[in-house]
Amino acid sequence: MAIDPKSVESDRVLILDYGSQYTHLITRRIRFLDVFSLCLSGTSSLKTIADYKPRVVILSGGPHSVHTPGSPSFPDGFIEWAESNGVFVLGICYGLQLIVQKLGGIVRVGEKQEYGRMEIEVTKASGLYGSKNCGDSQTVWMSHGDEAAKLPEGFEVVARSKQGVVAAIQNQLRRFYGLQYHPEVTHSPEGMETLRYFLFDVCGVKAGWKMENVLDEEIKVINQTVAPDEHVICALSGGVDSTVAATLVHKAIGDRLHCIFVDNGLLRYKERERVMETFERDLHLPVTCVDATEQFLRELKGVDDPEKKRKIIGKEFICIFDDFAQELEQKLGKRPAYLVQGTLYPDVIESCPPPGSGRSHSHTIKSHHNVGGLPKDMKLKLIEPLKLLFKDEVRRLGKILNVPEGFLKRHPFPGPGLAVRVIGDVTLENYLDTLRLVDEIFIQSIKDAGLYDVIWQAFAVFLPVRTVGVQGDQRTHGHAVALRAVTSEDGMTADWYPFDGKFLAEVSQKICNSVRGINRVSYDITSKPPSTIEWE
């Protein structure tokens, strides 16, 4: 249960996803303009699309070719529906090629394939480019092999690349537009302005996506869902997401919310003590702490596969929540019917099942115990009030709810905890304790350097490999650890943080001198994509 997208007061923009790694960025960029946007499967039915009553539909890019049999496309009747309802349509990259092909133009394999930064030049004044004139140029991010060879009747070219390839098209009468490049990425420096011009100047979209409105609507939805005599359990992880979700639900139903914090043995250094103090002292949330370390580690013993670890952890969490619900039933005389979780929109996008029913043109990136790992026979019904929000939106909502700013700025911590930061079996030797100490040194060093708030997420990873070293004039055969720190806006894409060499040298020295058994430290300089932020 979450806010109904159809109840949002702002004009709605739907993004039909055809598998581009940048699709989520379109969604995020539009929300930054205070306009509500939502990502659906590119193969959603026409009824599904129409039910949202969008002002604008954006067709995303993707890895496909319109010439390939079975390549994804919008549903039959989409063009007629859009025109009869005054809906504006923007195709980006593959989306442009779909428009050209489906409306009677010709798309061919490009003689001059374009990838990366390219210069484009405006060839006709257009609302897509504001006040820019013919001949004005800008840098954009191209990623296409096919190109529009002949436009459908009534369409005109408004920008070309320096190589002469069609870069932007429009048919103002039919309200169809297209960009052969990706305006949503930072590599297109003026892309955000293009989206702004398109939404507000071309389409006349009205902004209205405000966190204050989200708060009011979520409280209304919660009160409509949870009957006056019903009770709710909230799974608190100690992270920003579950804490904001709990605070929101607590504001809606008060003491009928019963929070549980589970120490699963996979927490960071002194996490249990620190988090419980914040819950009780600052947030005044009713929290029961359960120590389930032995239970989780027993089930994880001998398990190497990361997805299997996630599923086991998800199953054990639900078992504990069910037991907690039974205890509350004996105490209250009524069994809680709902479970609150801090699931975010990126979790939904990257997990199984992806957003929108029937998506078949993208891959599952990860499964979470709070999204893809829940058992089918779970007795509790879910309340996920943050399910349509990105991380920065959650932080803004938390600020309105008076969650302490220091807590809101905490780096994300995965639901499976250190299980996805110890490669392989987490129960071997003292891997978990070793990782906790390494991680604490790294994070404290970042805080001491004044960099904690600049970095999206930082952590250490334990590598189950032996490495030769020299410590105390003796040959050692210890373990290696990897450090990871990334910058990001929403966790969907990320880049590694460029620490200076002196900082990394000092951190490495502290770790090797302070943590027994570690004699080698590496720093991960891989972006997302191609990697993910977490290691498992």
Consult the annotation and say whether 91 binds a ligand: no
Consult the annotation and say whether 243 binds a ligand: yes
Side chain identity, residue 504:
L
Within 8 A by CB and 6+ apart from 345, the residues are: 27, 355, 386, 387, 388, 389, 390
The residue from 39, 93, 203, 234 that is catalytic is 93
DSSP character at residue 482: E
Consult the annotation and say whether 239 binds a ligand: yes
Using DSSP, state whether 176 is helix, strand or coil.
strand
The residue from 182, 231, 368, 479 that is catalytic is 182
Consult the annotation and say whether 48 binds a ligand: no
Quick one: 81 exposed, middle or buried, by C-beta within 10 A (0-12, 13-18, 19+)? Answer: middle
Q: For residues 325 and 336, is the Cβ–Cβ distance under 8 A?
A: yes
Rg (CA), the chain: 25
User: E-strand spans in 336-441?
Assistant: 338-340, 381-383
Whole-angstrom distance, CA of residue 40 vs CA of residue 349: 10
Whole-angstrom distance, CA of residue 260 vs CA of residue 320: 9
User: E-strand spans in 266-308?
Assistant: 287-291
| H-helix or E-strand spanning residue 163 | none
Termini Cα distance of the chain: 29
Q: For residues 373 and 367, is the Cβ–Cβ distance under 8 A?
A: yes
Consult the annotation and say whether 131 binds a ligand: no
Consult the annotation and say whether 188 binds a ligand: no
| H-helix or E-strand spanning residue 397 | helix 391-400
Residue-level length of the chain: 536
Whole-angstrom distance, CA of residue 498 vs CA of residue 290: 39
Whole-angstrom distance, CA of residue 90 vs CA of residue 438: 48
**Beta-sheet strand order (sheet of 106-122):** 36-41, 12-17, 56-59, 88-92, 176-179, 166-171, 156-161, 106-122, 137-150
The residue from 114, 144, 147, 184 that is catalytic is 184
Whole-angstrom distance, CA of residue 456 vs CA of residue 532: 14
Q: Please compute, for residue 418, the number of CA atoms within 13 A of its CA located in the half-sphere on the CB side.
A: 30
Query: β-strands 176-179, 88-92: how paired?
Result: parallel
Whole-angstrom distance, CA of residue 295 vs CA of residue 301: 10
184 assigned to active site: yes
182 assigned to active site: yes
471 beta partners: 474
Nearest to 256 by CA among 230, 281, 290: 230
Q: Please compute, for residue 147, the number of CA atoms within 13 A of its CA located in the half-sphere on the CB side.
A: 19
Whole-angstrom distance, CA of residue 226 vs CA of residue 253: 8
DSSP character at residue 230: -
Consult the annotation and say whether 425 binds a ligand: no
Q: For residues 160 and 148, is the Cβ–Cβ distance under 8 A?
A: no
Annotated binding site for ATP: 237-243
Q: Which residues are catalytic?
A: 93, 182, 184
Binding residues: 237-243
